[in-house]
Structure 1
Amino acid sequence: MAEFIERLKKQPKEGFFFDSITFGRDENHHTMPIISFYKGLRSLFDGYMIDDHARFRPANALRSHFAQFSQKLGEEFRPKEDLVNFFAYDRLYNTQFSVDIESAIDFFKLNAEYYPLSPNVWDSLGEAYMVNGDYQQALTCYEKSIALNSSNANALSRIEQIKSKLN
């Protein structure tokens, strides 16, 4: 096996990636399948994880990160809906760092692009537009949320509030 690994290192093949690890005496043939599977997945998904500062970067940086990773594996990968929502709400309300309503809206719009059938996504985008004072856009978003979930009490309430302000 060691000779085979050396040959692969000396004569690499384009598009073929491999890695090898020598384990200690605490492992045996019974534990190797589990460890190999785990290590293989870690290697395959290298680059998937975003760092803790992603929420402070523009939404387009998040989009680019997942687009590059998707291209690497040949399959579409997206950040989870609740993660993007967290980033957006953090920008919308977190006064510890700095409120940035436009960045929040960009994250919410990205979430609506990724998850257009989620009533929560449209409800959240509507909230950001309300905070920004753009009641017409907020109304449109809340109406989309209601179209996807007619029992969304928050959206129904917000629609009433907005209509009273616009009249």
Structure 2
Amino acid sequence: MSKTVVAFANDAGGELYIGIKNNPRALVGIPQNQLDSIENRISNIVLDSCAPIIQPEISFLTEEDKHIIRVYIHKGSKPPYFLKNKGKNEGTFIRVGSSNRLGDRETIFRLERSAANSSFDAELNYSKDFNEITLDGFAAFFKEKTGEELTEKILEKLNLVVIEQGQKRATK
């Protein structure tokens, strides 16, 4: 599972479903009394084995009266993502079709380069939640200069707000 999580974070993101058999594809489900413990195990596996930190989005679904767990991995903003126990050179994986492939030097370099294309002010600010930031002064200045109200959409266009792993983050 960790290889797939890393590969999704290094690529465009992706979903894993627990409770669905692969070959042949069949819905087997998970007993309801095991959902919480499996969710905790998934979170621990991802947090303990992947670097930089990947935050999985875990949800419970019911299909045909059977419980399944959906694990959504967002595209990461700080590639390359890798398995901690293998290190960057031996633990960086990418998706090729429906399989995970070990990233070669060129792939790792490309991932590093894509992460390095951002400047300091484009880095995400983790010290405060987006909702804790007050923009009153900037909003007044923006309206004075442009005649427009400052909206979240404008903040996103200006790259002052970025969606990372499903959460709004302000940039520095």
TM range (shorter): under 0.3
Higher RCO (CA < 8 A, seq sep 6+): 2
- Structure ranking higher in strand proportion: 2
Give 1 or 2: higher helix fraction: 1
TM-score, normalised by the number of residues in structure 2: 0.22
